[in-house]
Structures are given as C-alpha cells and as structure tokens.
Amino acid sequence: MNTVQKQYIAEWHDNFVNYTAKICSFVDSMKLLPEATDPDKQAIELFKYLLHSKDVADVEKDLSDGIIKKSTLDKIEKLDKDMVNFAIEHISASPVFKDILKRISYHQIEFSKQVCAERLNELQIPFEE
C-alpha cells in the first residue's frame, strides 16, 4: 500500500475509535440527566454493550492492521443498524413513525457504506472478500 492508502485507513481507524468512544461518552452522560429513569439507565447500559461487542473489536483490529474486507464494512453497517434498532425499540412513538425513522436511518447507513466502498476503490485500496 502507498502512503495515501495507509493514511486513509489510519484516519478511518482513528475516526472509528473516536466515534464509538464519543457515543459511549454521550450515552453515559444521558444517565446523569434528572429525567433519566431507572429503566432508561438500564437501557443505556444495554446499549453500551453494542459498542463493546466482538464485531466492534474486529473492525478496530481490521482497520489497525490495514486489512479491509467486505465483512469489515458489513460489521460497521450492522453496528449502526443495531444502534438504530435499539433506540427505536426504546422510544415512545407510533409504529408508523418508528418505521419512518428506521427506514431513513437505514438508508443513510447503506448510503455511507456505498460511499465508503467507492472511496476504497478510488484509492485502489485492496478490498478482500
């Protein structure tokens, strides 16, 4: 790999690590809100398990090793969708509105994955199946 490719993957790794850390920090801060109920706090703890899953560790390892696979992108997509699903399960809204939120979120997640794959191709970064 050339310098630009290595730099792109290194930045992607750092961004992914920062992304998951910031979400953990944000979610932790939500527990401190006066209006956070005990069920909210329990849900927050469960939500954090998503961010400490084996898939997250695998993605971080792939990126730190500079090895990008289809499964790497799939795991990032799954993490994002799992977070959306978890949040939607725990909000008070009509089923129609929950479905709208889910579809919009999934569309954005899938678009981001497509853009990422295109960027890998543009940079001619080997993309293993």
Q: What is the dihedral of CA 35, 49, 46, 85, to 10 degrees?
A: 90
Residue at 57: amino acid letter: A
- CA pair distance 101, 99, nearest whole angstrom: 5
pLDDT band at 111, cuts 50/70/90?
A: very high
pLDDT bucket at 129, cuts 50 / 70 / 90: low
pTM for this predicted structure: 0.89
Tokens for 127? 């993309």
CA 76 and chain centroid, separation: 5
Number of domains in the chain: 1
Q: Within a 13 Å sphere around the CA of 73, how many CA atoms are in the beta-carbon half? A: 19
**pLDDT per residue over 17-66, tens digit each?**
999 999 999 999 999 999 999 999 999 999 999 999 999 999 999 999 99
* pLDDT higher than threshold 90 for residue 78: yes
Domain region containing 52:
3-128
What local confidence, expressed as pLDDT, does residue 84 receive? 96
Lookup result for tokens 């310098």: 3
Confidence at residue 127, expressed as pLDDT on a 0 to 100 scale: 77
What are 87-101's pLDDT values in tens digits?
999 988 999 999 999
How high is the mean pLDDT of the chain? 93
